[in-house]
Structure 1
Amino acid sequence: MPNNANTVPRGKGTVAIVVAAGRGSRMAADGDAGPKQYLPIGARPILALTLDALGASHRIDRIVTVIHADDRALYDAAIGDIEARNKLMAPVTGGATRQASVRLGLESLADAPPAYVLVHDGARPFIDTATIERVWNALDAGKPAVLAALPCTDTIKRVDDAGRVTNTLPRDGLWAAQTPQGFRFDVVLDAHRQAFERGETSFTDDAAVAEWAGHAITAVRGGEDNIKITTRSDLVAADECMRLQQWATLGDIRVGNGYDVHAFAPGDHVILGGVRIGHDRRLKGHSDADVALHAITDAIFGALADGDIGSHFPPSDPQWKGAASDIFLEHAVTRVARRGGRIAHIDLTIICEEPKIGPHRDAMRARIAAICGLPVQRIAVKATTSESLGFTGRREGIAAMATATVRLPLGDDDAGSDATA
């Protein structure tokens, strides 16, 4: 097939095809449930991060995602909060192989073809705009097919099935292919159609399909961080990287303190840290009187300089009578999120002679972690007595102190003046 690199491309604009129809067999072998592209890193699905990274490029006008027939619900959930939503086209159902899925994605565009198409793996969420720019610029300079790649720096060995090294390959001129791989739309569609008609199904990327069809392939430099998440170790490393990046943007570190007291009243249980504990008395209060969650809630409000629990949930308001204190803490957590922040750590101390806190410590930590959306390792629950001194020493009630560490974006000066329940 002749190479028509100088032909003016048909159509207008650039569409990114995101390949996300795979089953992630290597990830599944490591024990992870579900297709890898929907697993979270940094609390967001991999696919959502990939789509947002592509959508951030002004070179990409539209994005079509090729998904598995069984994954529509997963896809809809993944795109729920992405910034690139306005660029998304309706997803396309993929085929049995990656090659088939890309062809189906291309065919979905054939009636209104773009000038260029960039094919990208859904499990490469760290693609940067500079790499996209290099691929697009090469296309716009007249190249029919372009791939992002990096020169190999490791020595490459050929190994047989028995694990024996059979030879060493010279690494000069060897490059490791990445995505996106960019093409003139007519070139890559025709190449895929030819391969399909001739039963050629063994290609592992689209540059190989175009090369087989007779087109010259141009390599441009990819990105060092543009890894494909394939195994469990890739997932863990990517998650750690993403969380570090997120924490690095939250350089305004705030610490707030909370303190609360509730007296005992006749009853048969107390609620502490969201956990029901059998006891010969209850704690008296307008809500469920969970002194532990109240202290944590006030600590978070303190870190935000956002009033206190009474200003958000006035005890004079009858709607909070008997309310579960989970509601109050959830509200404080939401206030942090609305300001683009994260809770970094909660430290709670419960002061009482009884009931004994030790047997319930882990349940409290787990419940507080669940409400705050934190790993349990970021929740500390301690208990102490007051050596029979004061009202807690006389077993008249329970007190709690809490410290909350909150991280906010630098420059956050919201005083939280709109405190409402």
Structure 2
Amino acid sequence: MQRVFVLDHNKQPLMPCQPARARKLLKKEKAAVYRRYPFTIIMTRRVGGDLQPIEIKFDPGSRTTGIALVGHFDHSKEVIWAGNLNHRGLQIKSNLDSRRAIRRSRRNRKTRYRPARFLNRRRAKGWLPPSLMSRVNNVKNWMFKLSWLAPLTQIAIETVRFDTQKMQKPEISGVEYQQGELAGYELREYLLEKWGRQCAYCGAKNVPLEIEHIQARSKGGTDRASNLTLACTECNQEKGNKDIKEFLKRKPKRLKKIQARAKAPLKDAAAVNATRYATGNVLKDFGLPTTFSSGGRTKFNRIKLGYKKEHWIDAACVGESGSEVFIPQTITPLIITASGRGSRQMCRIDQYGFPRTGPKKHKRVKGFQTGDIVKAVVTKGKKIGTYIGRVAVRANGSFDIGSGEERVSSISYKYCQLIQRADGYEYSFFS
């Protein structure tokens, strides 16, 4: 289990404690629950205490960012809290595409529309599309949350997951860690992501994969990333130095797919590379000592220590301290999913872009809003029981409460007690 965040009586962060100690403090009424996710207690009387260095580490990704808090204790460097932060960049991109299509459709039909605005906007220096900026803001928000809950002393972040220049021109000189033992880690990780961790020729998964030249070097092929793919041992040996068109002449669909994917850039890698400097800059603004590292070094540390591949584990292995970090077997990461804080859309529309519902009235109903975590104790009727989960409000005061697939409907607001306000994220311990 993860450690529990602790605040003193003046809401200043103390060292996170073991769950067993937190239970004792709560039972003796020396502390009270302050926040449910991430679980935090506040001391009723105590002020101040002894602190030890805590390093926060980030492994930024296109879809998921790993977060780990590493305590620098006298005996070891140990992970005391971890989380996987799931981004909503793809959802934002989809919503913007849908809105743009609907507006263009209205203009073409000369119906209700907003005038086009294409040339009257200036982009600030360092501008990023909303789908990418949301990733940066998520990391910034969680850095702020955790700096308020724990006495952080330093930051480590992986800023270069894929060194595309090194992969396109392997002969160029790079920094020291890209030489010697670390050579090839960046390229192999890139290919694993690009080709879906499966053989490009037969689709085999969960088997040892080898780097394969699409056009053999003996036939003029290069070591550029666009000429490399992944293949299982059998396919690699069978293909040899054959031309790919000859090798896959009986599989035209697979041949076409490989040729298209080989030339296409990896979108996730592009998203990470586009946001790495913005993410690093927002973290440096917190004023803590900040170190930057490469994805190749992260993978090298993880494999050397024998840890499995997960985002939060990668975060723990970032940087110099990641070469000797200890991860307890009992630790379970908090799954954090960015869900947004509601929609700016005034009313729902049909497939043609016309309104099909009335405009929204109030976001908060009877003191609750959609996304709040509540506890409902129903004492009468057909739904007697206790329910804990996120609430979906209705104007008539009859709410839905649920967590995941389990959901109960038509619970009166009179039975609901607020546990935690909606903050734009959903939480769980299971992915």
**Aligning the two structures, in what range does the TM-score lie when normalised by the shorter sequence?**
under 0.3
> How does the TM-score come out when normalised to structure 1?
0.22
Larger Rg: 1
